[in-house]
A and B are shown apart, each in its own frame.
Chain A
Amino acid sequence: MSDYVLDLTGIRKTYRGGVEALKGINLQVPRGCIYGLLGPNGAGKSTMVKILTTLIRRSGGEGTMLGKPIGDRSALQKVGLLPEHAQFPDYLTGRQVIEFTAGLQDVPTSETRQRADSLLELVDMTEAQGRKMRGYSKGMKQRIGIAQALVNDPEIVFLDEPTDGVDPAGRRDFRLLMKRLREEGRTIFINTHILSELEPIVDRVAIISQGELLGEGILDDLRSEKPEFHIEFEGALSPATVESMEKTGLILNSGLITALTSRAADIQPVIDQLRREGLTLSRVELKTQSLEELFMGFVDQSNVAAPPPIPGTPVNPPAIPRS
C-alpha cells in the first residue's frame, strides 16, 4: 500500500472562459497526518477538493486517492467530506443528517445508530440532535457537518473551511477533534485561509496561490528555512561595533540585533562583544516564522518575482525539503 493517500501529478483545471484555477499541481499527502492546503480566496483550494471528490472534472493531470484513480467510487466510500458552505437538508434533524450520510455511504443499519451516538457526543451535539437543521447556528451546523463526514469511518477526511463561522470555543474543540482523528490514524485534509486555526495542529502544508503550488512540506522544515536569532540588550553600542556588525550581515535596531542563522555558535561573538562593551543582555531567542509569515512570504514572493507564465510551459513549485 502506498504511503500517500493522495498522489497527484500535474493537476490542471481550466474553467469555461479560460480561467485557469489550477496550473499543474503536484501533491503527495502522507497517511495519518493533518494536511493544510493554504491559500488566499480564489487560489484554487476548493477546486482541488472538488476535483478529488468528483464535483468537477480536471482538465489535465492524473493521480490516485487511497491507491485508486481519482473519481473511483470505492475510494470515495472511504472518504469523508465537509464541503465549503455545506447545505444540509434543513428539514432533517442533526441526527438525521448523520444517518442520511451513513445511508448514502452504505453504512450497515446496525452500526449507524451506534456511530451516530458516538459522533454526536464527539462534536458535543447530543442534546441538540433532535432539532431541525434550520434551527441550528452556523457553528452547530459545522459540528454536524464534521460528524456526518466521519460517519463512514473514513480513511481521509476533506474539510473545506471547517471553522468558517465557528466561535472560539468551537475552534478549540475543532482542533482537539482533529488531533484525536490523527491519533486514530486518519488523514485530515483541511482547506483554509484562516492560518491561526491550522498552525497549532497541522503537520504538513501546501501553499497555493493563483492556481500554482508555491511551497509544500513539513511545517517546521518550512519555518526553519529562515531562522533568526534575536538578541535584545540595554544600552548603546559604540559606532565602531555598529559598523563592524553591519559588515558581517547583522541587522541592528534600537536594542535589538538580528542574526540570520539558526546556529547558537554563530551568535557567541556577538554576545561576547556586547559584554565587552558592558551592555546588559535582556533576551536571546531563536525565532522561526509563523505560519502567517511563511504564507505571506510565499505569496508576496510569487506576486513580485513570478514572470508571466509562458503558454505551454509546465509550472513547477520551488524545491522544498521533504520529510
Chain B
Amino acid sequence: MKPYLTILLDSFRMLKARTIFWVTLGISLLVALIYLSIGFDEKGMSLFFGLSHFESDMFRRGTPQSETLYVAIFTKLIAEYWLSWIAVLLALVSCAAIFPEALQEGASGVVLTKKLSRFQVFVAKFVGSLLFVTLQVTLFVVIVFVALRWRVGSWNPSIFWYVPLILLVFTYLYSFMVVIAVKTKSVMTALILTLVLWAVSSFVGFIEGQIYSAIKMTERMEDSGKRMDVEARSAQTEEAEGEEALPSEEPEMKLEQEEYRSSSDANSMKTWHQRIVAAYALFPKTGRTMEIADRLLVVNGEKGSSKGTFMTIMMGMEMEEHDQGMSEEFVRVGEESADRHSKTYAIGTSVAFSVVMLALSAWIFCRKEI
C-alpha cells in the first residue's frame, strides 16, 4: 500500500508545484466567492456582498423565483460554463504532464524499476489525477452548497451530483489524453488532440441534438397541420352540405404533394440522424453527461427543474396564454430532445469509450521502452 500512497502523494506534490494548480484553485475560489456574494433581502437582490443592490418584487428573500434564480446562476452559468468547460480544461492542462513525465528517460528509472509493476504505477498515477480533480470540484461544490443554504435558506444536497458527473466528463477526456501521452510522451500533442476530440464530440452531439429537435418539430407541425386541415375540411363539409357540391380534386392533390415533400424531408433527416447517432455512439458524451447533472438537480422540490420548471417559473408567469402555449411546446421538444438518450446510454457508451482508452494506454505504458 505504501508505494501506491507514495505515487499519489508525489502526483499531488507535482500538481501543487505547478502554477496552473494555484491558478485553477484561485479562479475556483474567486468564482465561488462571487457566487457567495449574491444575496436577497426583503426589497430585492444584491451583488458583491451588498455593494450593488437593486429592487425586485420577484427576486427577493423567500420567493421561489429567487431560489430558482440562485440555483440557475449555478447551473446555467457556473456549472454549464465554468465547471463543464473551463474547470475541466484547466484540470486537463494540470494533469497533462503526469504520464509523459513518468516515461521520460532519467525520471522513469526512479519509479518504474521499483516494487510496483508498471500496471500498478499506471493505476496509481491515473487515480492520483482523478483525486486531484475530485478535490478541486468537491471544494467548489461545498462552497456552493453552503452558499445556497446561506442565501436561499435551504440545504440542496442534489448539487453534489455535479462532483461524480464532472469527474466522469474529466475521465472520458483524460483517458483519451493518456493514450496520446503514453504513446507520444508529448504533453502538447496529448493536450491538443484531446481538445480536438472534445470539440468534435461536442459538435457531433450538438448536430445530432439539432437534427433530432428539427425532426420532432417537423412531426409536431405536421400533426398540428393535419389537425387544422381536418378541422378546416370538416368545416368546409358542413358548409357544403347546404350548398352545391364543387369538385375538390385540385386542392387535395396539392396537399398530398406537400405532405409527400414534407415526409420525404423528414425521412431524409431521420436517415441522417441515424447515421450521426451511430457515429456519436463512439464518442464520449460530455455534454449529455452534464445535462444529466442538470436534470438531477432539485429546485423548489422538483427534480430536473433547471429546464422546464425553470423556464415555467421564470417566464411562464409573465406570458400571454398563447405565448405560454408555444413556449411550453418548445420546452416539451427540448425536454424530449434531452431525454432522447437514456442516462445509461449516455454514461454507458462514454464509460465504455474510457475503458477502451484506458486499456489501450495501460497496454502501451506497460510495454513502453524507455
Contacts and interface: CB of A to CB of B under 8 A. Distances in A.
Interface residues of B, number: 29
A101 B106 contact: no
Interface string B11-28: 001101100000000000
Contacts of B114: 76-77, 101, 104-105
Contacts of A88: 107, 110
Contact of B115 (A84, A85, A87, A104): A104
A73 interface: yes
A105 B110 CA distance: 10
Contact of A55 (B17, B108, B116): B108
Contacts of B2: 103, 106, 109
Interface string A83-125: 1111111011000100011011110010000000000000000
A57 B112 CA distance: 13
Contact of A79 (B5, B14, B17, B113): B113
A53 to B, nearest CB: 4
Main SS of the interface on chain A? loop
Nearest to A91: B17
Given A50-B370, A109-B2, A81 B109 contact: yes
A54 interface: yes
A103 B3 contact: yes
Given A84-B106, A89-B14, A104 B370 contact: no
Interface residues of A, number: 29
Contacts of B107: 87-89
Contact of B5 (A50, A53, A55, A103): A103
Contacts, number: 85
A320 interface: no
B115 A105 contact: yes
Nearest to A101: B110
Given A89-B14, A104-B116, A83 B106 contact: yes
B10 interface: yes
A83 B111 CA distance: 11
A56 interface: yes
Contacts of B5: 103
A84 B108 CA distance: 11
Nearest to B16: A91
Contacts of A84: 105-106
Given A53-B113, A55-B113, A92-B13, A104 B7 contact: yes
Interface of A: 50, 53-57, 73, 76-77, 79, 81, 83-89, 91-92, 96, 100-101, 103-106, 109, 148
Interface of B: 2-3, 5-7, 9-10, 13-14, 16-17, 104-118, 367, 369-370
Closest 8 CB pairs of A and B: A103-B6, A83-B109, A91-B17, A87-B106, A53-B113, A104-B114, A87-B107, A56-B369
